[in-house]
Chain A
């Protein structure tokens, strides 16, 4: 049995085929979890969250629930381009293209979290522009900082930043947790995600 990323049509905004998240949700029931209406795979209402790389996974409350029943420990940070707001999962920023100049101030809403059992602190974090949705390395930083993520928690924040000195063109906005790869995680592929929002730098 395989679940392909193509099953996820969230970025087509239709949620027509949330195949993988549905299967993970059902396995959550197999493991004894009930519904929980938060930033969880165990939401009864769609859509469920998707993390970095456009994949789905157990989120902090899901993971805490399974561990409460079966025990175990793990370490994992994740990035998501979604938020839990008004009782629903939504794109953290709407899927729009904004036309900006070098030096323009923009706001980007990011979600990062820790679905492991080890709290992390002062881990590298950045928001950057790059040429493709999956261009996870390099790029042009717009925001750099550090993140502190208690075990089994997540946060959504809106950050203010300046468009850096990039050539004119169309760019994707991405963010990355654990930029220095200082945390050994069970899933290293969910640390970077792209926003639904793009920028067109025209001057």
Chain B
């Protein structure tokens, strides 16, 4: 009985809903939008490279890239200096320990589940509207990779900057005096801080 149910449901689960012959859920499989060519294998991702600007107490810029080969994954998170933001070219030193302006972390997850983060080297990334390309050169060389694909940008500002529109969905209030104000996404990139990112959104 279970098998019959499974067979009966299979087309629905694979194809998703459909008003006509074309499945709307694209077979429930996200499309690859980023390809990472590593030293030993190629990784892909359904998630775009994200460039995230955060204008909290200490403004920062964050780039994150990740992909999977099926058995291994490669991921990079870096914090290029904010003053590089408008140049279109971002750099960071890949380090095994520490976060902050100008630094980045590379992580490889191996098939046995172990995680390797002990890389040192350099990341260079160029961004253009909706697109990104970059390279990471590391020691050990197993972390080396180049990548290209889709770029998304987001910009986060204190709740008070966006006002009532930012609290329609509720609020989080930190305990303690002097705790940093939570940030919310300026989805329209309408604030003065975030306006520069409009030129990097896909046309």
Chain A residues with a Cβ under 8 A of chain B: 1, 12-19, 22-23, 25-26, 29, 35, 44-47, 83, 85-86, 88, 90-91, 93-101, 104-107, 110, 112-114, 125, 143-150, 153-160, 170, 197-198, 200, 202-203
Q: With contacts A86-B154, A157-B159 known, is A97 near B75, CB below 8 A?
A: yes
Residue of A nearest to B58 (CB): A105
Render B14-34 as a binary contact track against A, CB cut-off 8 A, 1 for contact. Answer: 001100000011101110000
B76 part of interface (Cβ distance < 8 Å): yes
Q: Given contact pairs A95-B75, A107-B62, A155-B169, enumerate 10 new A-B contacts (beta carbons under 8 Å).
A: A16-B29, A23-B12, A46-B29, A97-B115, A106-B99, A146-B172, A146-B173, A147-B172, A158-B182, A202-B96
Query: Cβ of B67: which chain A residues have Cβ within 8 Å of it?
Result: 13
Give Cα A200 to B108, complex, Å: 13
A5 to B46, CA, bound (A): 20
Does B141 belong to the interface (CB within 8 Å)? no
For residue B96, give the distance in angstroms from its CB to the closest CB of chain A.
6
Give complex CA distance A72, B28 in Å. Answer: 31
Which 4 pairs from chain A and chain B are nearest by CB? A94-B64, A155-B169, A158-B183, A160-B180
Is A114 within 8 A of B170, CB to CB? yes
CB contact list, B149-197 vs A, under 8 A: 152-154, 156, 159, 168-176, 179-180, 182-185, 187
User: Do A156 and B184 touch across chains, with their CB atoms under 8 A apart?
Assistant: yes
- Residue numbers of B with Cβ under 8 A of A are 5, 9, 12-13, 16-17, 24-26, 28-30, 45-48, 50, 54, 56-58, 60, 62, 64-68, 70, 73, 75-77, 95-99, 105, 107, 115, 117, 152-154, 156, 159, 168-176, 179-180, 182-185, 187
Contacts of B172 in A (CB 8 A): 110, 112, 125, 145-147, 155, 157, 159
